[in-house]
């Protein structure tokens, strides 16, 4: 398995655990349509959360609890650019229509997972209710 595929899968697994520990119910993972994919569909307090997961491998600086991202100087959330948002929006609306869910009871979130493979540690940053 390529390292970026491993990091992506591990990041999604960690994101699911993060959500479940905070009372979310994970309804689906990797909901796929030919025009896009939803990494995680979860629910909490009668609100659906469509969660995009972005994972990066990095080394953690234990002295200051800061990190250096090796793959890129950009933040993981930067990978959710306008064409990705358009595809996500279409996929979200497909999911809602398929499940017969009202359009006003959902939000879009991003979870960034920073994985230090050497130390076998991870840090999660959760950004809620992003307008798309």
The CATH code of the domain that includes 61 is 3.40.1350.10
- Name which of 30, 31, 28 is nearest 43 in CA terms: 28
Are the beta carbons of 110 and 54 closer than 8 angstroms? yes
Handedness of CA 7, 122, 50, 90 (dihedral sign): negative
pLDDT, position 76: 76
CB 43 within 8 A of CB 24: yes
pTM: 0.85
Range of the domain at 59: 3-130
Taking 70 as the pLDDT cut, the residues of the chain under it are 59-74
pLDDT at res. 63: 46
Number of structural domains (the chain) is 1
């Amino acid at each position: 398995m390529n390292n970026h595929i491993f990091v992506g899968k591990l990041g999604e697994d960690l994101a699911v655990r993060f959500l479940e520990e905070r009372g979310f119910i994970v309804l689906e993972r990797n909901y796929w349509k030919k025009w896009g994919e939803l990494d995680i569909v979860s629910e909490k307090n009668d609100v659906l959360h469509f969660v995009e997961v972005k994972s990066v491998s990095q080394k953690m600086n234990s002295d200051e609890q800061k990190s250096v991202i090796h793959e890129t100087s950009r933040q993981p959330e930067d990978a959710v650019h306008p064409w990705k948002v358009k595809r996500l929006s279409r996929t979200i609306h497909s999911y809602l229509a398929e499940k017969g869910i009202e359009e006003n009871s959902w939000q879009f979130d991003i979870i960034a997972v920073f994985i230090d493979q050497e130390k076998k540690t991870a840090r999660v940053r959760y950004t809620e209710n992003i307008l798309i």
